[in-house]
Amino acid sequence: MDVVQHPLPRRARLAAAAATVLALSPSTARANTPGSIPAENPQHFINFDFAVPGDFSTYTYTVGVGTRLATDYIYYAHYMYAKNGEGFYSGIQPHPNGKAGVRSSFFGAGATPLRSNCHRGADDEDGVTCGIDDLKYVAGRKYTISARKTNTTSGPVYTGTIKDAATGKVRTVGVWRLPRNFAGFKNSANAFIEKFDGIRTCADIPSVAVSYTGVKADGRPVRFRAHRHKATKVPGEDIYTCANVSDYTVTAPTPGSYTVRSRLARH
């Protein structure tokens, strides 16, 4: 997968689409028979909002993926809503070959890439996408993803990094500059998991397990709400066609941490 691979459609659609995810499909497919629901790439199957302190300069989290490596093309990510529309996401894409892709993408006009592994455009819209695809990946190992802001006379510059918790090695995912009039981030963010390739029907959605620790904005732990999602009999739409086929639980044992476990519903 090269750096132009985009794991999401345009983020401006996220809030509206999430709000209508339970809309009835015109087909007669049912979420308790996932193989009967045709689906295209990509597909969100876990997605929930959470609160963050707004206007932060540093956002960081440590992710440990427990999903078996044979299940490829899964993207585990956080998305930060910007005040002037669009926003920023970062996440990891483990692969069975011992490598992982990592993405840091900003969606919005006026962004400038500052590293060779960054390019203009995000999901074919305004923005910047940065990424690496050769991160050494070990199943179950924890990786810390960070985005840090530096103020300059030309506008805020963000640097995305990923750190291997076992070796201490840090890689730069990308560096990009935003316009001087960038208004900053809102007090809300989104956690999502998607499968972005290999989708024919919703039966291709896997069970997943992933834990997040040390989720902080400017050093302050972010709080998450424990909840349980029960798969319904109503398919979603577009990139959320398969949003209702998984039963999943979110546990939040301490501030700054949560774990997601899901299974494909076959009632």
Residue 2: C-alpha distances to residues 104, 125, 180, 213 (Å): 14, 18, 30, 28
Cα separation, 238 vs 232, whole angstroms? 17
Count of CB atoms within 10 A of residue 253's CB?
12
Cα 80 from Cα 106, distance rounded (Å): 9
pLDDT of residue 11: 40
| pLDDT tens track for 137-167 | 999 899 999 999 999 999 999 999 999 999 9
Strand 58-65 and strand 142-150: the pairing is: antiparallel
Q: Above 70 in pLDDT, residue 181? A: yes
Q: What is the pTM of this model?
A: 0.87
What mean pLDDT comes out for the span 81-103?
Answer: 92
Tens-place pLDDT, residues 44-90 = 999 999 999 878 899 999 999 999 888 899 999 999 998 877 899 99
Alpha helices in 12-93 (DSSP H): 14-19
Is residue 12 over pLDDT 50?
A: no
pLDDT at 247 over 50: yes
Domains with residue ranges and CATH for the chain: 11-264 (2.60.120)
Residue whose C-alpha is closest to residue 108's, from 88, 126, 83, 90 = 126
